[in-house]
Amino acid sequence: MTSDKTRTPEPKETAEKSARDDAASKRRFEGRTNVVVASLLVLAIALMGNYLSFRHYQRWDWTSEGVFTLSDRTRAVLRELDHDVDAWLVLSSAEPNYQDLRELLQRYRAESQRITLHFVDPDREPGEYRVLAERLRLGHADLGGGVLGSDVAVVLESGDRQWKIGRDDLVSVDFDALEAGEARVDVRSEQALTGGLLEVTAGRPTKVCVTQGHGEWTLGRGAERDLGALQDQMRRDNLDIQPFETRGAQRVPEDCDALFVVGPTTAFTSAEAELIRGYVQSGGNLFVAADPELRDEQITATGLEEVLRDFGIRIDRSLVLELDPRFLPQSATSPIGPYLVASWGDHPITRPFRDPPAGVLFQIARSVRPVDPDRATTLLSTSESSFAETELAQMIQRGEPSRDDADLAGPVSIAVATRVERLGEAPEGETEDAAEDREGGRVVVVGDADFLDSQYLGLQEVMNYELASAIVGWLTEREALIELPGRSVEARPVRMSQEDVDGLGFRVVVLLPAAIFFLGFAVWWNRRS
């Protein structure tokens, strides 16, 4: 007969087992604690990152053309906003450009806290849209079962002022270059929105008066020499352009922020010249674009030579010729133009164009030089290979240009800017700030008016309008106009031959599934073995 005896653990073994259990329990507790602490730390870091991203919003645009970056001009306008603005996007979310416009408006909001965004979809929120359309007078149609939206896409509202932007003002596509494979998407959305902000927040529009009566370029479209394209562009920037007849006028209107003299073919009278002199010396601003008008084998006078010389700017009776092929477009057939500006001076007008050097086209220009470099600044110059022909009669007789000692050697100045002293004695004890406020008008003279031609203002490859806008911005002290606006984006179409399409189909339909099958087979075989 056998009996089972239960072995009683020794006290030492019991103590060791208890110690092991305690150690294991402690490790489990420490592990769980570490997991909880790590989770809390990750959560805290995520919350901190989210908070910092909310307080310090930052975007990075890696596109080659800066598609998702607001232009310098728009950022300058947003920095200067001193009124709250409500922006209403009243497009259907099914519209092709809806997401792009929504994203663009959010960029504006990120740049300025004064902008409040509202998104109303006429299809999904017909009731809210109907009420909004009545209040904003959008011109919608109520169809009973639904609402037919108007052509208005965005409404900007500040106080009692409104500005409506239509679909056609936002995005358009130029397919004329499709044959060359360079269809362009003209991204006008930013320009339209920024111009609308100026309309609802600025005071009265900046007024530019354009002289008439001397064969100058005309406002509107249809004439051989018209400023229609410039006028349209400037209106988007909240600039009001009006004609001004100097003959018989006693003075320039007080509400003219700048006076433009563009391409006169006949001379101003001495009385008109003195009228302009008094306007500038009393604080007015003057822009002169003087074409080299040829008559009887010599360049005609503008009648403003003496006045401009007293302001520190000399207009020469010469014709600038560019001989450096690097600055001649492929279509150029003559050294008199068109040609590109070779160098930019150091001035607030030109600083946005200097780095990298921007392209501006001139055609048939005359030389314009500072009388005293300490008083006036050269804005634009041609290359060292250029020269200004002063003996035009001899050049016409020869039938070709020929440089001689009487000509002006390159680089030749073709645009100059200066500030004019205000008439009257300065009061005693005047501070520097007060003296700055008492300075007279600003003057810019360019030896060519053709750079304002519609065909050049519409070219995306050059920056003729940007230069004109910067000149107006400096003259009228609207700094935002000096900054560069957004540029159009080149749409790069994907071109594939039938052979390319067949090859792509073979890779997607055959090779990709086959690769997945063999990868799965390899994993199965590895597990089996």
pLDDT in the model for residue 314: 95
pLDDT in tens, 192-204: 888 888 878 876 7
Adjacency order of strands within the sheet including 387-389: 319-321, 387-389, 408-409
pLDDT in the model for residue 53: 76
CA 499, 503, 509, 514 dihedral sign is positive
Q: Which domains does the chain have, with CATH numbers?
A: 72-199 (3.40.30.10), 205-423+436-481 (3.40.50.880)
pLDDT band with cut points at 50, 70 and 90 for residue 484: low
Stretch (H or E) spanning 143: none
- CB count, 10 Å around CB of 412? 28
Q: pTM to 2 decimals?
A: 0.67
pLDDT in the model for residue 382: 94
pLDDT in the model for residue 249: 92
337, two tokens: 């133009």
Q: What's the mean pLDDT in 79-97? A: 87
pLDDT in tens, 33-84: 888 898 999 999 999 888 887 777 666 666 655 666 788 778 888 888 888 9
Specify whether the CB–CB gap between 332 and 341 falls below 8 A.
no
Cβ-based neighbours of 522, under 8 Å, separated by 6 or more? none
pLDDT in the model for residue 179: 46
Q: ∠ CA(388), CA(394), CA(396), 5° rounding?
A: 90
137, two tokens: 């007078």
In the chain, pLDDT over 70 holds for what percent of residues?
Answer: 81
- Can you tell me the distance from the alpha carbon of 282 to that of 487, in angstroms, rounded to the nearest whole number? 37
Q: What are the residue ranges of helices labelled H in 85-188?
A: 98-111, 126-136
In this predicted structure, the answer to whether residue 184 has a pLDDT above a threshold of 50 is: no
In this predicted structure, the answer to whether residue 186 has a pLDDT above a threshold of 70 is: no
In this predicted structure, the answer to whether residue 307 has a pLDDT above a threshold of 80 is: yes
In this predicted structure, the answer to whether residue 3 has a pLDDT above a threshold of 60 is: no
- More confident site: 194 or 427: 194
- Among 209, 231, 271, which residue's Cα sits nearest to residue 475? 209
Q: What's the mean pLDDT in 126-143? A: 74
pLDDT in tens, 253-273: 989 999 999 999 999 999 999
Q: What's the mean pLDDT in 392-418? A: 82
Highest mean pLDDT among 3-17, 181-195, 505-519: 505-519
Q: Hey, is 147 helix, strand or coil?
A: strand
pLDDT in the model for residue 159: 87
pLDDT in tens, 199-224: 788 767 789 999 999 999 998 887 88
Mind giving me the DSSP string for 296-357? TTEEPP-S-HHHHHHTTEEE-S-EEE---GGGS-TT--STTSSEE--EE-SSTTTHHHHTTT
180, two tokens: 């060359």
Q: Which long-range contacts (CB under 8 A, 24 or more apart) does 166-174 make?
A: 167/91, 170/97, 170/101, 171/97, 171/100, 173/491
Provide the b/e sequence for 284-321 (b: ≥16 CB within 10 Å). Answer: bbbbbbbbbbeeeeebbbbbbbebbeebbbbbbbbbbb
Mean pLDDT of the residues in the chain: 82
Which residue type sits at 519? L
Q: ∠ CA(36), CA(37), CA(41), 5° rounding?
A: 120
pLDDT in the model for residue 390: 84
Q: What's the mean pLDDT in 144-161? A: 71
pLDDT in the model for residue 84: 93
User: CA gyration radius for the chain?
Assistant: 35
